[in-house]
Amino acid sequence: MPIDEARLDAFMGQFVQDLGAVMHAATVVVGDELGLYKALAEKPMSADTLAEKTKTDPRYLREWLSAQAASGYVEYDAARDTFSLTEEQAFALAQEGSPAFIPGAFQIAVAQFRAIPRMLDIFRNGRGLGWHEHDPSLFHGTERFFRPGYAAHLVGEWIPALEGMAARLKAGAKVADVGCGHGASTIIMAQAFPNATFRGFDYHEPSIRYATDAARRAGVGDRVSFEVASAKDFPGTDYDLVAVFDCLHDMGDPVGAARHIRQSLKPDGCWMIVEPFANDSLQDNLNPVGRVFYSASTFICTPGSRAQEGAMCLGAQAGEARMRGVTEQGGFGKFRRAAQTPFNLVYEVKA
């Protein structure tokens, strides 16, 4: 079959972009860890000045800054031979609490690369790779990647989209955050609703320890507790709200989790499911957001599910129809899409 030169050129152009992005990812992690973006956000600097401020080597800094400028992550002034961040770049790279903060995503990418030797084996043998078996950069990167979105949307948009829930939380509701990880979502809710009480659950003990310490640092440790428990056996009943953030698709037995959540809620309680944005059909997910989530799902979500009992393997692009099916099999009768962002879908589920 003859080669179409124009199509080959277009594909090779895409390859150059992709290779540059892959190699650039490691430089972002280094810049974040060394505080280079935060220092550069203060004012334009030469490589020597930035090196002195951050106690790093100027020759390495020159190469790193050049890579950042070539990637569009840093601005370069050739006349002054200085580098700087625009307000927008600083907002995304240097401000940890901003809703656009992105370095955590690159930590997730690093974790994926470190998992390659294990992935080669499980692609052949069909076994799983549990969340707890990944490099710790995955746990920290996941919190730092998802927390900005939760901070931007959870209290102001998602909870108000659940019928009557904001008022219940203000009055003193009882909440379970299942699969809470490092506790970012739990703490954000606790800070916004001081009369409510919150219990976070996750099977990963190191994450529970981290979340407990984070709640103490945030000043909400008196109303927030974290415990090691799975989605199928977490303790407590009569919850007004059970929340599951970006993890139902990771569970080996999401239907079993749904049944347990159904039993743990008050009769008029609500289950809030937050999931990665996905359409129901594969062809409708072949876009930049789908590319990110399918790639993460290949290395993290699907192997994580297969490592558990049930191994349903929904994947990070499960879509609304499959999520509805999980809730119906779990004994719920009401399901609706309550809110959405370019990266998340939020469902309200009731008995």
pLDDT, tens digit, 9 for 90 and up, residues 208-245: 999 999 999 999 999 999 999 999 999 999 999 999 99
pLDDT value, residue 72: 97
Burial class of residue 16 in the structure, from the number of CB atoms within 10 Å of its CB (0-12 exposed, 13-18 middle, 19+ buried): exposed
Q: Which residues of 60-91 are buried (b: 16+ CB within 10 A; e: fewer)?
A: ebbebbebbbeeebbeeeeeeebbbbeeebbb
H helices, E strands: number in the chain: 15, 9
Burial label, 166 (beta-carbon count in 10 A; 0-12, 13-18, 19+): middle
Q: Return the DSSP state at 285.
A: G
Q: How many CB atoms lie within 10 A of CB 100?
A: 12
Write out pLDDT tens, residues 85-140.
999 999 999 999 899 999 999 999 999 999 999 999 999 999 999 999 999 999 99
pTM above 0.85, yes or no: yes
What the block records as the tokens of 222 is 């008196």
Q: How far is CA 185 from the centre of its chain?
A: 11
pLDDT digits (tens, 9 = 90+) for 288-319: 999 999 999 999 999 999 999 888 999 999 99
Given a contact cutoff of 8 angstroms between Cβ atoms, the answer to whether 244 and 271 are in contact is yes
The residues, any chain, with a CB within 8 Å of residue 151's CB and separated by 6 or more, are 97, 99, 188
Amino acid symbol at 60:
Y
CA distance linking residue 346 with residue 271, whole number of Å = 10
Structure confidence by residue, pLDDT tens digits, 166-186? 999 999 999 999 999 999 999
3-class SS of residue 274: strand
Query: What is the reported pLDDT for 37?
Result: 98
pLDDT digits (tens, 9 = 90+) for 251-279: 999 999 999 999 999 999 999 999 999 99
Helix (H, G, I), strand (E, B) or coil at 95: coil
Residue 297: DSSP 8-state: I
Cβ–Cβ < 8 Å for 152, 190? no
Question: What residues contact 62, with CB distance under 8 A and at least 6 apart?
Answer: 47
Euclidean distance between CA atoms 119 and 135, whole angstroms: 13
Q: Which fold has domain 5-95?
A: Arc Repressor Mutant, subunit A (1.10.10)
Topology classification of domain 104-350: Rossmann fold (3.40.50)
Confidence at residue 215, expressed as pLDDT on a 0 to 100 scale: 98
How many whole angstroms separate alpha carbon 131 and alpha carbon 299?
A: 10
Answer positive or negative: Cα dihedral of 113, 103, 204, 248: negative
pLDDT of residue 97: 82
Q: Which helix (H) or strand (E) holds 51?
A: helix 47-54
User: Once rounded to an integer, what is the mean pLDDT over residues 2-12?
Assistant: 95
Rg (CA), the chain: 22
What's the pLDDT score for residue 196?
Answer: 98
Residue 238 backbone dihedrals phi, psi, to 5 degrees: 60, 35
Q: Residue 1: what pLDDT?
A: 79
Domain positions in the chain are 5-95, 104-350
Average per-residue pLDDT for the chain: 97
pLDDT, residue 17, reads 94
Helix (H, G, I), strand (E, B) or coil at 204: coil
Residue 185: other Cβ atoms inside 10 A: 27
- Say how far residue 46 (Cα) sits from the centre of its chain: 34
Degrees, nearest 5: CA angle 124-126-127: 120
Task: Give tens-digit pLDDT for 10-47.
Answer: 999 999 999 999 999 999 999 999 999 999 999 999 99
Helix (H) or strand (E) holding 310: none
% of the chain at pLDDT higher than 90? 98
